[in-house]
Chain A
């Protein structure tokens, strides 16, 4: 009692209790009394995640592998296509259940990234256009990136319970900031005289955004998406502590049982997924100039198919070979 009331000027912190921990703990009460509000939201997200998970897992692994390799080829060229195909083959052979676990992890990551994109793009655009909003966002984003995940793990679980939905939310908190930052950076980096020219020729603010700013900011925004994907993958082990399945869960269980083999399988799986997703998104992020000013559908497998389809027409209409 005595040392609680005695205020020591040299050590004011131990004698004053603002009760922040207690107050924050009250969130539990709030969550319990607002179950009706939270449950439908939770159900919606859960259905989305389960839907993606089912879609990825019902696809035969070899077909899925081929699709991913083709996407990689389209986005980043034939070399990356081959890299992705070999990496994924290796992943499949790591363990009999590795492919299934990887697809579950991929489903969580994809859900988190889609939601990040839906939240992060508008926020990023707005903070790219508004200095005051950017100034407010900056410390919030810093907090989201640096606060240990365990701190928000607890309140999120209290609000929503354990499972995939909480896992996705925790992942979003950690991996959203780079997308917002890089979207803002991309919008700010657009040459102001081009924006001015668009306005001078009668473009409305929305037309300026969609016809000029977003297309020119796309490489930077895609770099943000790439970062977001990488960070979500790095959250899968932590997310597995709140009952999210997949590769992260393997690593967690291996830790509990000191099973180095299982840990390697899970860990390598995560790394391979990271490489695959990184290369694909980096390929997408190339600007038009780097691609030699072709549209994305003019190269890769789609371009090859289109060329095959248009060949018969060309010979039919006459001697147009000189064009190619």
Chain B
């Protein structure tokens, strides 16, 4: 594995320049894309091929939850299926813990899928002819683990998703939310280091979805599994993800932390998504404060004694609570030393998602 670069060492999933073109003439289309830089529509018209993923590169660190967000048809499912090679890429490479997935033999690939990767599907994809227990122990059954060990680990996983006592039921005897818990139990039963989740909660009612998100987050805080989580819901991505990638027409248009994405959308497409998102928990005081020097220059010397105080990392939500109780602006302090001021106007603009640059410029007028 000479081509592994040092920066990729810590990445559990390392995806490099991945392309997937569907269709009989995919290789020709790929060549044309390389040489003439054809776009998605041109490829469709010239070759009758669909571009599923365009030049996707990203890494996921150990223990990280990486969300991929995009509208339906943007290629999210196609991309995630490359990680365990349910789909072969047209071009590009994919490494899992430094190992080139597309170079594995069929046998090694099956080992990787059964032992290292757990997957959860949008439509549950449970086996209707098997009980919950038999579904959950499937990955160990195909590895021919003995029946008792299989049963024990499966029961532990069923316990982890609060489905005690349902192990002898069949999937169609369970509600949608419970079925997806079984899907989750099946994915974690073999204690894999990587979880692939393709819109796992999208098909559920909002209330059940919220419950399952909470369940997943508490599980994942304990298990610390490297997770690739797909969703079409930016709220969900922000709730769950350590980092988020926004996908559009097969391309990753922006990768960053939830705060990055919300405060600095890379283009209008992302900005449109972000517009409807509540900034209260995402933007911190440090991002919207006016430096203390600038404030004093504007307003003259001030007495900070009965002004409320906050830390730069505290979210707008907290500043709002502070501001309700007093007439004064909020002072942002680190170790008792004032750094900046957040006025009510600045706070309101922050809630609307306006950047501090604009904020200060406008305030100075």
Contact = CB atoms under 8 A, between A and B. Distances in A.
Interface string A191-226: 101101111111110010001100110000000000
B129 A216 contact: yes
Contacts of A196: 86, 121, 125
A200 B170 contact: no
**Range of interface residues on chain A?**
20 to 34
Given A196-B86, A197-B119, A202 B139 contact: yes
Given A194-B125, A216-B129, A199 B139 contact: no
Contact of B113 (A191, A194, A199): A199
* Top-8 shortest CB links A-B: A202-B114, A197-B125, A201-B139, A202-B113, A193-B125, A200-B119, A202-B110, A203-B142
B153 to A, nearest CB: 13
Interface in B111-127: 111-115, 117-119, 121, 123, 125-127
Contacts of A201: 113-114, 118-119, 138-139, 142, 186
Q: Output the residue of B119, B121, B138, B186 with the most chain A CB within 10 A.
A: B138
Interface string B250-284: 00000000000000000000000000000000000
A293 B173 contact: yes
B173 A216 contact: no
B226 interface: no
Nearest to B84: A200
Tell me the interface secondary structure of chain A in the complex. helix
Interface in B74-133: 84, 86, 106, 110-115, 117-119, 121, 123, 125-129
B233 interface: no
A201 B84 CA distance: 10
A288 interface: yes
A194 B118 CA distance: 15
A132 interface: no
A288 B127 contact: no
**Range of interface residues on chain B?**
20 to 34
Q: Output the residue of B113, B139, B142 with the most chain A CB within 10 A.
A: B142
B298 interface: no
A321 interface: no
A215 B138 CA distance: 15
A23 interface: no
A191 B142 CA distance: 20
Interface string B193-228: 000100000000000000000000000000000000
B127 A198 contact: yes
A213 B161 CA distance: 28
Interface string B295-331: 0000000000000000000000000000000000000
A289 interface: yes
Interface string B123-157: 10111110000000011011100000000000000
B129 A288 contact: yes
B144 to A, nearest CB: 10
A313 to B, nearest CB: 19
Nearest to A288: B129
Contacts of B125: 191, 193-194, 196-197
B172 interface: yes
A202 B84 CA distance: 10
Q: Output the residue of A193, A194, A200, A216 with the most chain B CB within 10 A.
A: A200
Contact of B127 (A200, A212, A289): A212
A204 B172 CA distance: 26
Interface in A285-303: 288-289, 293
Contacts of A204: 106, 110, 142
A197 B106 CA distance: 17
Nearest to A207: B142
A202 B115 contact: yes
